[in-house]
Structure 1
Amino acid sequence: MTRHHWAALSLSLLLLLHLLTLAHGECTCDEESLDRDKTAALRYRIGAIVSILVAGAVGIVIPMLGKVIPALRPERDIFFVVKAFAAGVILATAFIHVFPEAYERLTSPCLKGEVWGNFPFAGFVTMVAAIMTLQIDTLATSYYTRRHFHGDEAPRVVAAADNKEDQEAGGSGADHAEHLHLHTHANQGHAHPPGPSGSGASSDLLRHRVISQVLEVGIVAHSVIIGIALGASESPKTIRPLMGALTFHQFFEGVGLGSCIMQARFKTSTALVMALFFSLTTPVGIAIGIGISNTYNDSSPTALIIEGILDAASSGILIYMALVDLCAADFMNPRMQGNGRLQLWSNASLLLGAGLMSVLAKWA
């Protein structure tokens, strides 16, 4: 992810936080009468920061261990199974966790006026976000393809052996000679996509990178909202079940995102930055929620509209990514189509991921 991408994302998050701080002055609905205990709630919220941070970091790192654990490498069958599980998790996150929250907020009785009650904004924003994700996905892939394969930056594809990667893979020289090494000016390093065609494999690699970046944006957007909501709560009865559920939620999402990052074959430094950014998003959101808990009112029209629209947009992004870039891409892969056993395990893994995330909706 380039410096411009990080700057744009950081600016968007700062704008979100600024708008949320405006919510405290627009209380039109009475806040729920909850069993409030600020001291106990603070302890639970600090515990939530630690547990969610650790769970997210562990989840996103597991797929990346493929660099040292051969069984977890993208070219192995087990990776298809892991990605199917990740797709199920992301799909359930969108349908079971994020979209219902968006619908609830954008149809809240606290939103006065006919426009909110007479138009299905949650579904509309979700649809628009999915279409925009398709356009961004297509345009970004097209842009990177032209950038790498045309003009002065056209790549020079050569067959060569890379002793360092060969030692990491633990494979023979003959196996490693099948890898094609792509040299570009845009990427200061070497890409080693598997496959017989350098251009085709490099194009796939670029697409995986676009997928992982767009997916992280979708996950980060709703993670901030989740964190602020938990951090702003002062009811231990509300925080306790949320803490456990969100810990597992963050772990499973980390596995999903980590699988995509691993397949994108980013440089180690880039992959670590993306992993760190994901791991910190919800804990930072909780910390912000703690800081504004005395003034923040989640029933104000401003908060409901902002959070509802962002949740709906996140659900559209996640639905598109799960169905198009994860499920369709892998389940229609000739390798899976020709392996009945792999299809069986992948379908079971998809259902398991979706099922586990759906069960968590009981608490979060």
Structure 2
Amino acid sequence: MKCGSNSDRQGCKNNQNEALKLKLVAIVSILMTSMIGVCLPLFSHTIPALQRDTNLFVLVKAFASGVILATGYMHVLPDSFDCLMSDCLPENPWRKFPFTTFVAMISAILTLSIDSYAMSCFKKKKLENGDGNDGDCVQNNAKIESQNGHVHGEVFKCDGKGSQLIRYRVVAQVLELGIIVHSIMIGLSMGASDNPCTIRPLVAAICFHQLFEGMGLGGCILQADYGMRMKSTLVLFFSITTPFGIALGIGLSNVYSENSPTSLIVVGLLNACSAGLLNYMALVDLLAYDFMGTKLQNNIKLQSWAYLAVLLGAGGMSIMAIWA
């Protein structure tokens, strides 16, 4: 590997014309696969077995959550290590301090803070406005019993449904942010490469990756219960991000080098941020939230099948790390 130039696979020469054809095929196929993956859960309401509260939907969501978890640990994190531990970077400080894990840790903490502050702000705004449309806190006239007698007044009755909806919406938006960062990096690297032997296996691998990752994101968007405009926006951004990255890489191929020190540092740090975000979201907001919820806690058999679904999703995505 030469520092300052795009790496070549041994035994396979660069071919700019053939590589460009493969990139154009990749743009179309990845765009279509991404749209199919993210839209599948959104149209699941037309299939009775895939309604949001059914056991099958729970298993599909567990499978998709496993895919997202493996994406963070098996794809994004190793990519960051490869960049920040590269021989093209000076030994001090890049190979003397584990920047990848440090940045991923900080990213996870920041994701937690965004998650927490967003929930607090939404709840506070609802209380100030007395808005009970989502079932979070409904302002009603009520009679409060006390030891000394009866007191009449206005109180807030909270049933938790609105709070749950807010959480789903925060999860959907933050998760999409992490996926978009990583998707741009994948597309940029592919678009800047002129090696057909590098691009060819990536096309199929990224298509499968986007399909299953899109299913996970689509499930979160479905639970967030957005209006059509917001749903369309989230679907569009997820679908076009990787193709946009490829197109950007093609446009910058003459000036962008994936092995230049600047590129390695920027891509490595962004991937580390994305890894921390995805790992937190998969473990805390998706898996832990569902597995500690009432539905799975009250059904040990379903819980066991859900664990198997997580392992299948994570295992399948881990195997894809061989090619992408």
Give secondary structure in 1 for the equivalent of 2:40. helix
Work out which of the residue numbers 298, 303, 309 in structure 1 matches 2:258.
298
Separation in structure 1 between the aligned mates of residue 184 and residue 250 of structure 2, nearest angstrom: 13
Q: What is the identity, as a one-letter code, of the residue corresponding to 1:315?
A: A
Q: Which aligned pairs between 1:1-150 and structure 2 lie closer than 5 A?
A: 28-29=3-4, 31-34=6-9, 35-148=13-126, 150=127
Number of the residue aligned with 1:321:
281
Number of the residue aligned with 1:356:
316
Give the drift of 1:182: 9.0
Separation in structure 2 between the aligned mates of residue 276 and residue 182 of structure 1, nearest angstrom: 33
Give the drift of 1:77: 1.8
Separation in structure 2 between the aligned mates of residue 100 and residue 111 of structure 1, nearest angstrom: 17
Q: Deviations over 1:48-102 (max 9, x none)?
A: 0011101110000011013323332222222211111111001100010000010
Q: What is the identity, as a one-letter code, of the residue corresponding to 2:315?
A: G
Q: Which aligned pairs between 1:201-240 and structure 2 lie closer than 5 A?
A: 201-240=161-200
Give the drift of 1:132: 0.5
Give the drift of 1:156: 3.7
Give the drift of 1:337: 1.1
* Equivalent residues, number: 303
Number of the residue aligned with 1:288:
248
Is 1:154 aligned with 2:155?
A: no
Q: Structure 1 residues 294, 99: closer, same or farther in 2, change over 3 A? A: same
Work out which of the residue numbers 231, 239, 247 in structure 2 matches 1:279.
239
Q: Is the 8 A contact 1:228 1:287 kept in 2?
A: yes
Number of the residue aligned with 2:146:
none
Could you list the runs of 4 or more consecutive aligned residues of structure 1 that deviate by over 6 angstroms after TM superposition? Answer: 180-184
Number of the residue aligned with 2:267:
307
Separation in structure 1 between the aligned mates of residue 175 and residue 52 of structure 2, nearest angstrom: 18
Instruction: Give the greater-gyration-radius structure (CA).
Output: 2
Q: Structure 1 residues 292, 145: closer, same or farther in 2, change over 3 A? A: same
Give the drift of 1:181: 10
Give the drift of 1:33: 4.0
Q: Is the 8 A contact 1:65 1:72 kept in 2?
A: no
Q: Deviations over 1:87-146 (max 9, x none)?
A: 100110001000001011011111125111210000100000001100110001111111
Number of the residue aligned with 1:162:
none
Separation in structure 1 between the aligned mates of residue 138 and residue 36 of structure 2, nearest angstrom: 32
Number of the residue aligned with 1:338:
298
Give the drift of 1:348: 1.2
Give the drift of 1:335: 1.3
Q: Is the 8 A contact 1:157 1:198 kept in 2?
A: no
Separation in structure 2 between the aligned mates of residue 214 and residue 338 of structure 1, nearest angstrom: 29
Tell which deviates more after alignment, 263-272 or 108-117.
108-117
Q: Structure 1 residues 182, 278: closer, same or farther in 2, change over 3 A? A: farther
Number of the residue aligned with 1:4:
none
Normalised to the residue count of structure 2, the TM-score between the two structures is: 0.89
Q: What is the identity, as a one-letter code, of the residue corresponding to 2:7?
A: E
Q: Structure 1 residues 291, 145: closer, same or farther in 2, change over 3 A? A: same
Q: What is the identity, as a one-letter code, of the residue corresponding to 1:64?
A: L
Give secondary structure in 2 for the equivalent of 1:118. coil
Separation in structure 1 between the aligned mates of residue 44 and residue 90 of structure 2, nearest angstrom: 52
Q: Structure 1 residues 207, 297: closer, same or farther in 2, change over 3 A? A: same
Q: What is the identity, as a one-letter code, of the residue corresponding to 2:169?
A: R
Separation in structure 1 between the aligned mates of residue 214 and residue 133 of structure 2, nearest angstrom: 34
Q: Structure 1 residues 44, 80: closer, same or farther in 2, change over 3 A? A: same
Number of the residue aligned with 2:154:
none
Q: Structure 1 residues 157, 261: closer, same or farther in 2, change over 3 A? A: closer
Give secondary structure in 2 for the equivalent of 1:111. coil
Give secondary structure in 1 for the equivalent of 2:27. helix
Q: Is the 8 A contact 1:105 1:304 kept in 2?
A: yes
Work out which of the residue numbers 201, 220, 223 in structure 2 matches 1:260.
220
Q: Deviations over 1:176-230 (max 9, x none)?
A: xxxx69999xxxxxxxxxxxx8640000000100000000000000000000001
Give secondary structure in 1 for the equivalent of 2:160. helix
Q: Structure 1 residues 237, 333: closer, same or farther in 2, change over 3 A? A: same
Normalised to the residue count of structure 1, the TM-score between the two structures is: 0.80
Number of the residue aligned with 2:151:
none
Q: What is the identity, as a one-letter code, of the residue corresponding to 1:226?
A: I
Q: Which runs of 5+ in 1 are unaligned?
A: 1-26, 159-179, 185-196
Separation in structure 2 between the aligned mates of residue 140 and residue 265 of structure 1, nearest angstrom: 17
Q: Is the 8 A contact 1:44 1:239 kept in 2?
A: yes
